Amino acid sequence: MPEPNVPDRINAETLDDYLEVMSRAVFQTGISWRVVESKWPDIRAAFHDFDAARVAGLTEGELDDLGQDPRVIRHHGKLAAIVANARRLRELDAKHSGFAKYLRGLGDFDAALKDLKQHFKFMGPTACYYFLYVVGEPVPPHDEFEKRYRT
């Protein structure tokens, strides 16, 4: 049985899966996970079930509309980051013949953390840890992560 507040791991198979997990990490940055959890079904609907191609194609006008949508957490920077991250996911997926191949080619956690922070918006150490953990990539034990990156 998982500990309380420990997210379940998923078998990420599509870019949509990766985008959804990454977007949750983005929204949770600086916001109570309970708030994000309570709004998640509506956020998912507003972002077209995190269809990576569709999110990557959102226009500035559509992004502005999302910023007025009460179903989502209306933080323009985070909304824009999700669109930018969808675009970057698609680029890396194409470049590496699969996003999973990109992730597995990053090496250890430190290298993955550095690369993810460089390529994706609103992805600090905790968001990267969450993302990698949930999609099933190797991460250090949480207490080690906390000591190294959060002190």
Q: At a CB cut-off of 8 Å and minimum separation 6, what does 130 contact?
A: 7, 21, 24, 25, 28
In contact, 135 and 18? CB cutoff 8 Å? yes
Q: Quick one: pLDDT at residue 8?
A: 87
CATH architecture, domain defined by 15-149: Orthogonal Bundle (1.10)
Per-residue model confidence as pLDDT tens digits over 98-115 = 999 999 999 999 999 999
pTM, to two decimals: 0.93
Question: Burial of 7 by CB count in 10 Å (0-12 exposed, 13-18 middle, 19+ buried)?
Answer: middle
Per-residue model confidence as pLDDT tens digits over 15-42 = 999 999 999 999 999 999 999 999 999 9
For the chain, how many residues are written? Answer: 151
Q: Quick one: pLDDT at residue 65?
A: 96
**Domains of the chain by residue range:** 15-149
DSSP secondary structure letters along 4-49: TTPPPP----SHHHHHHHHHHHHHHTTS-HHHHHHHHHHHHHHTGG
Q: Quick one: pLDDT at residue 41?
A: 97
- Token pair in block for residue 30: 């600086």
**Res. 1 pLDDT band, cuts 50 70 90:** very low
